[in-house]
Structure 1
Amino acid sequence: MYEIRLKRLPHSEGLPLPRRMSELAAGFDLYAAVPQDAPVVLQPGDRALIPTGLAMAMPAGLEAQVRPRSGLALKYGITALNSPGTIDADYRGEVQVLLINHGREPFAIERGERIAQIVFQWLPAVRLTEAEELEATDRGAGGFGHTGTK
């Protein structure tokens, strides 16, 4: 088991720490640390960086991925714009979530609302090397729908 250390920033007081909502959930829900009296209203097409009020320290070799919550996406068209957003093990700033409203109605993000989830991944040891040629495959350079649209 890996230990992730969380630091509460002053504006997260009273909010829960990230948690899994079921025993086998992969992600820990993140909560909006916006002011109680100032929800962030996303108009259709708008985006905003939403604070969580947390900073963290992870062991080397881990990364955290910030991902959308499927319920917000389905019901309201709210999603994380740079999904998944990567948090590197050496980052010590506040975890924030870049949300966008792809829906048709304004959406208010209230304090304490579950806005995204964070999933931790182990990174394999990788070495990149330059090559003059690459071995051929049946697929070759085919991409972006080369096998059909449906």
Structure 2
Amino acid sequence: MQHLVQIKRLPGNEDIQLPQKMSELASGFDLYAAVSEPVTLQPGERGLIPTGFSLAMPGELEAQIRPRSGLALKHGITALNSPGTVDADYRGEVKVLLINHGQEPFVISRNERIAQMVFQYVPTVRLEEVEELSETGRGAGGFGHTGK
């Protein structure tokens, strides 16, 4: 099943590549930096990087912003709030919160691939308050309760 997602290129970004899949079976669309001048992220520094577009998608979808594995492996660059969520009712510019976990400064140039965007279904959920929850074998066991 295919869903129509509208994309709007924002003024001043006519030269920025719109999101695209880099292979036929890729799940993510690569996102490109719409910075007006190069941005340098020092080790440990974070920055909000514009992409130059906004979206309109059906209510049953969300767009998740995820790191690019190559940037993470080679340079320690990742999306800080991964996955970041773009809600269906948001109409502002999609931006990517990057952080440099590497040991060297990293320069982000205009039209450089910085992240990927994956669309996911969002189920309709209704929360119901109750006095008690059903029992399970795990119970309230949390972080690390099953071993290392």
TM range (shorter): over 0.9
- 1:120-135 mapped onto 2 (5 Å cutoff): 120-135=119-134
Aligned letter for 1:104?
Q
Distance 1:85 1:25 in 2: 19
Tell me the equivalent position of 1:60. 59
On the 8 A contact 1:62/1:123 being kept in 2, the answer is yes
Identical residues among aligned pairs (%): 71
Question: Normalized against structure 1, the TM-score is what?
Answer: 0.95
Alignment-mate amino acid for residue 108 of structure 1 = V
Mapped to 2, the partners of 1:96 and 1:133 lie a distance apart of: 41
What amino acid maps onto 2:29 in structure 1? F
Q: Aligned ranges for residues 2-13 of structure 1 at < 5 Å?
A: 2-13=3-14
Q: Is 1:29 paired with 2:30?
A: yes
- Alpha-carbon shift at residue 30 of structure 1 (Å): 0.4
Rounded Cα–Cα distance in structure 2 between residues aligned with 1:93 and 1:6: 11
Q: CA deviation at 1:140?
A: 1.1
Report the counterpart of residue 108 of structure 2 in structure 1: 109
Matches within 5 A, 1:69-80: 69-80=68-79
Tell me by how many angstroms 1:144 deviates: 1.4
The ranges of structure 1 where at least 4 consecutive aligned residues each deviate by more than 6 angstroms after the TM superposition are: none
TM-score, normalised with respect to structure 2: 0.96
SS at match of 1:11: coil
The CA deviation at 1:11 is 3.0
- Match of 1:95? 94
Contact 1:11–1:33 (8 Å) recurs in 2: no
Counterpart CA distance in 2 for 1:126 and 1:105 is 44
Could you tell me how far 1:82 is from its partner in structure 2?
0.5
For 2:13, the aligned partner's letter is S
For 1:142 and 1:148, locate their aligned partners in 2 and report how far apart those are by CA, in whole Å: 11
Which amino acid is the alignment partner of residue 137 of structure 2? D
* CA distance in 1 between partners of 2:12 and 2:137 (Å): 54
Q: Which residue pairs with 1:86 in the alignment?
A: 85
Q: CA RMSD in A?
A: 0.8
Matched, 1:20 2:31: no
- Residues in 1 aligned to 2:144 and 2:29: alpha-carbon distance in whole angstroms: 33
Note if contact 1:41-1:107 (Cα within 8 Å) is conserved in structure 2.
Answer: yes
Q: Secondary structure at the match of 2:49?
A: strand
Q: Give unpaired runs (5+ residues) of structure 2.
A: none
**How far apart are the structure 2 equivalents of 1:60 and 1:34?**
29
